[in-house]
Amino acid sequence: MRLFWAPNTRSMRVLWMLEETGAPYERVLVDLKAGAQHRPEYHAINPMEKVPALQDGAACVAESGAIIAYLAEKFPEAGLAPPIGAPTRGRFLQWLFFSGACVEGAIAEKFTKAEMPEHIAGFGSFDRVFNVLEEVLSSTPYLLGEKFSAADVLIGADLHFVINAFKMLEPRPVFAAYLERCQSRPAFSRAAKINSDGV
């Protein structure tokens, strides 16, 4: 497997997920400043010309949530996704889609100071998105209950960036406790070191 990535991007989510699986992979640095994402060979892997992207033999996957879902299913022994048919499978998929459909929209709204009526925006509003996450994490240590999953990789990374990196959201005790649980995982530490070293 080859991960096309760049430091301090959404690649951190997939780095963390790959480290959670324990599977071997190669990192291919995409030099965004030099425009490497626009080269035809990378366009063939991810036509959106963004990072991250994953190449696994003949399979190419882009979009963080899709990559994380792909890896969770490829490595079921890692226990990062409920099996098909499990009662928690629906919520697992919900949280994977929630990141791209709701968190990303909420961040864009806040960053651009765009005002969109809540009944029109698919994500509702910035406050609604994070209030929903606070509500679920107030009653359980992880999104699916007692067990950490790939959904926590995605949402945990989102919360880390929104609160710690972008400073777009005031720290809330529920989120601080959740992030502490997530970031105490050895896989997160390894991914964070790769991300900060940039190699």
* pLDDT recorded at residue 182: 98
pTM above 0.75, yes or no: yes
* pLDDT recorded at residue 115: 79
Beta partners for residue 62, in sequence order? 53
Domain 2-79+188-197 belongs in CATH node 3.40.30.10 = yes
C-alpha 143/C-alpha 133 separation (Å) is 8
* pLDDT recorded at residue 90: 97
Percentages (nearest 5) of helix, strand, coil residues in the chain:
55, 10, 35
Report how far apart, in Å, the C-alpha atoms of 120 and of each of 106, 116, 117, 152 are.
13, 7, 5, 28
CATH class of 89-185: mainly alpha
| Maximum alpha-carbon separation in the chain | 48
What is the arrangement of strands in the sheet containing 53-56, beginning at the earlier edge strand? 26-29, 2-5, 53-56, 59-62
Contact status, residue 25 vs residue 196, Cβ threshold 8 Å:
no
Angle in degrees, 0-180, between the axes of helices 126-137 and 104-112, rounded to the nearest 10: 140
Residue type, 72: A
* pLDDT recorded at residue 89: 97
Residue 33 tokens, joined: 């400043």
| Residue with the two structure tokens 């995409």 | 30
> Which stretches in the chain have pLDDT values below 50?
none
In the chain, CATH 3.40.30.10 sits at 2-79+188-197
In the chain, CATH 1.20.1050.10 sits at 89-185
pLDDT tens digit string along 25-79? 999 999 999 999 999 999 999 999 999 999 999 999 999 999 999 999 999 999 9
pLDDT tens digit string along 64-78? 999 999 999 999 999
* pLDDT recorded at residue 125: 87
Q: Is the bond leading into 117 cis (omega within 30 degrees of zero)?
A: no
